[in-house]
Amino acid sequence: MKKINKISNTLKGAWLITWEFYSPNKRENLERIGIDDEIVDILDSHKNFEGVLKYTKDIYKLLRGSYSDKVLLAKRGKKRMMEKEFFNLHSLNTHYKTRLYSKLIKTLEEKGIDSRKHKEISEKWTNYPQYIRIGHNPGIYTRKVRDVKVYINNNDQEWIEWKEPLMNGCWKIKKYKK
């Protein structure tokens, strides 16, 4: 029987959350530590960055935090301080910590919003990928993607495809199949 692939679902934009393992054998290393699905979750692209950041932190804490980490982060009085320490230890990074964002803010403060230099940097910033990275081997990588499509064949096997932004403003099509 010939396999027929059809699109079962689509999204124009989304926040895609995946497990990352920075090595040539990503899938093998994730499976070795008990992670058999790289896709953690998919959120509506209209969710604001702060909400997505909080959600990503909660997922990381839930799935990778030790009991000690969880108890420490649950303490009322020191919660903010402990959370900051926890995510510094587990290397939290976002596009707001990049050199480009620093330049954007600096030109805004020094030259003003209507300056040519600020407008140039602002244009680059508009096309810059939005992302959140927490942890290392494994880590969680949350980023804004577009044109998400879920395919299904006549054997009910699903896979997902999306366009991922690159630093140069272009897009790369990525696919994932369990």
Instruction: Dump the DSSP string for 73-118.
Output: HH-STTHHHHHHHHHHHTT-EEGGGSHHHHHHHHHHHHH-TTSHHH
pLDDT-based confidence at residue 70 (cuts at 50, 70, 90): confident
Residue 27, helix vs strand vs coil: helix
pLDDT at 163 (0 to 100):
96
What is the percentage of the chain residues whose pLDDT exceeds 90? 46
Q: Of 14-18, 46-50, 72-76, 130-134, where does mean pLDDT reach its minimum? A: 72-76
Residue 77's pLDDT is 62
pLDDT of residue 15: 97
Q: Domain limits at 28? A: 5-176
Return the higher-pLDDT residue of 130 and 85: 130
Residue 134 CA to residue 69 CA, distance in Å, equals 15
Tokens of 76: 């009322």
Q: Residue 68, SS3?
A: helix
Is the pTM above the cut of 0.75? yes
The answer to which of 6-10, 86-90, 91-95, 139-143 has the lowest mean pLDDT is 86-90
* Confidence band, pLDDT 50/70/90 cuts, at residue 143: very high
For 155-165, give one letter per residue: b (16+ CB within 10 A) or e: eeeeebbbbbb
Q: pLDDT above 70 covers what percent of the chain?
A: 93
Which two structure tokens, joined as six digits, stand for 83? 């959370």
For residues 149 and 160, the answer to whether their CB atoms sit within 8 Å is: yes
Q: Please give the tally of structural domains in the chain.
A: 1
End-to-end Cα distance, the chain = 22
